[in-house]
Amino acid sequence: MIYLDNSATTHIDEEILDAMLPWMKDFFGNPSSAYALGRKARVAIEEAREEIAASINAHPAELIFTSGGTEANNAILKSACIESALTDALAVSAIEHHAVFHPSEWLADQGFTLKILGVDSRGVLEQNWYDSLPSEKTLISIMQANNETGVIQRIDTMRALIPEQSFIHTDAVQSFGKIPIDVQHLGIDFLSISAHKIHGPKGIGAMYIRKGIDFKSHQHGGGQERNRRAGTESPALIVGFQIAVRNAIRQLETRQQHMRSLQECMRALMKEHIPQARINTPEDSAICLPSIINVSFQHINDGEAILQLMDMAGIAVSNGSACVSGSQQPSHVLKALGLSDQEAKAAVRFSFSKDNTVEQITEAVLELQQIIASLS
């Protein structure tokens, strides 16, 4: 199989799996237990916390482990509005992941004001977006890089544009480990990250909560994670997360260059072999991740058929559409960029990792060429 859906998840590295296994088999103690087996697990978790926090220039006390990006997003948005009562209004971009959109809509149903911020045809936040904030104490949630198109937002410019009482959250699940992240430079209050997008295990992520914020737990139970996220921590998953982060940071530049070369190769091959394709990922490398290319086809009626035929050819890709009640819906991200329903349905997202090759990219494009011709 040629796997080109790395924005959905990545293959876990053998080194990471090997590092996790002892914590499942031999060192299985509960990290909240006081005896030696539990203390050993606690030490491993705190060492991982220090290393992962350092990777984003945060203090270890500011990093809280979660089950992944979705939980982190939900916990931050809902706690900020309800448990912590930090805000009475939300502002989110029109291209947010559903893990931000859906809790935001739920909070709107509970009476909180919700403002959807528009984007331009590239997917970049519209100019003067800050003029329409609904409150002086708005929680602004803007993803650092979009999971469908790879477009990067200038999070670092936002702090100077908003009221002092407002808060900034960024979903960095797609960008973490692919571009540098410094929470101090970004000027943010909250951040969400996950392990399985960088060759780590599924089921583990983290949220950054800036020191000094009175953040109360959204998930209640025990006093784990400094009373900010109840539930027994998994040393195995956290150690796997730690090694994945270590490798991603050490190899950041090498991985960037490799994925950018694959992206440029695919872009050139698309233009040569499938000129009718619309490439939705901007060509400007300064505003897009190196790991994603999103393309759509105006004359194709059945986008799902593209994915199925690619799968039959042994190539795993995805599109920007979500399945709701069994029916394919146009991508809200691509519609926000101005694409028609048809184009937004007939979209294909290719996403690369350090493990992909130019040969795989070439084979995928040539296969896609034949599929598009057969469906036209």
List, for residues 155-174, the tens digit of each pLDDT value.
999 999 999 999 999 999 99
Strand partners for 113 = 89
Strand, helix or coil for residue 217: coil
Q: Are residues 115 and 29 in the same domain?
A: yes
Q: What is the pLDDT of residue 196?
A: 98
Domain that holds residue 363: 252-375
Average the pLDDT over 294-313 and give the result. 91
Q: What is the pLDDT of residue 320?
A: 59
Three-class DSSP labels, 44-88: HHHHHHHHHHHHCCCCHHHEEEECCHHHHHHHHHHHHHHHCCCCC
- Overall domain count for the chain: 2
Q: For residue 18, give the CATH number of its domain.
A: 3.40.640.10
C-alpha to C-alpha distance for 327 and 337, rounded to whole angstroms: 22
Do the Cβ atoms of 100 and 171 come closer than 8 Å? yes
Neighbouring CB atoms inside 10 A of 66's CB total 25
Q: What is the pLDDT of residue 322?
A: 42
Domain C-terminal end among 193, 220, 250? 250
Q: Are residues 188 and 263 in the same domain?
A: no
Give a yes or no: residue 315 inside a domain. yes
C-alpha to C-alpha distance for 48 and 65, rounded to whole angstroms: 10
**Is 323 noted as a catalytic residue in this protein?**
yes
Q: Are residues 210 and 151 in the same domain?
A: yes
In the chain, the amino acid numbered 59 is: H
Average the pLDDT over 75-96 and give the result. 97
pLDDT digits (tens, 9 = 90+) for 182-213: 999 999 999 999 999 999 999 999 999 999 99
Domain C-terminal end among 250, 282, 317? 250
Give a yes or no: residue 8 inside a domain. no
The answer on pLDDT for 325 being more than 70 is no
Please give the C-alpha separations between residue 68 and each of 4, 84, 213, 304, in angstroms, as whole numbers.
Answer: 22, 21, 21, 28
Q: Dihedral sign, CA of 265, 97, 117, 229?
A: negative
Neighbouring CB atoms inside 10 A of 57's CB total 14
Domain C-terminal end among 250, 285, 302? 250
Q: What is the pLDDT of residue 321?
A: 43
Give a yes or no: residue 236 inside a domain. yes
Q: Which of 81, 265, 288, 323 is catalytic?
A: 323
Q: Are residues 239 and 263 in the same domain?
A: no
Length of the chain: 376
Give a yes or no: residue 7 inside a domain. no
pTM given for the model:
0.95
Q: Are residues 268 and 164 in the same domain?
A: no
Q: Are residues 257 and 243 in the same domain?
A: no
Q: Are residues 216 and 357 in the same domain?
A: no
pLDDT digits (tens, 9 = 90+) for 92-121: 999 999 999 999 999 999 999 999 999 999
Q: For residue 315, give the CATH number of its domain.
A: 3.90.1150.10
Q: Are residues 64 and 137 in the same domain?
A: yes
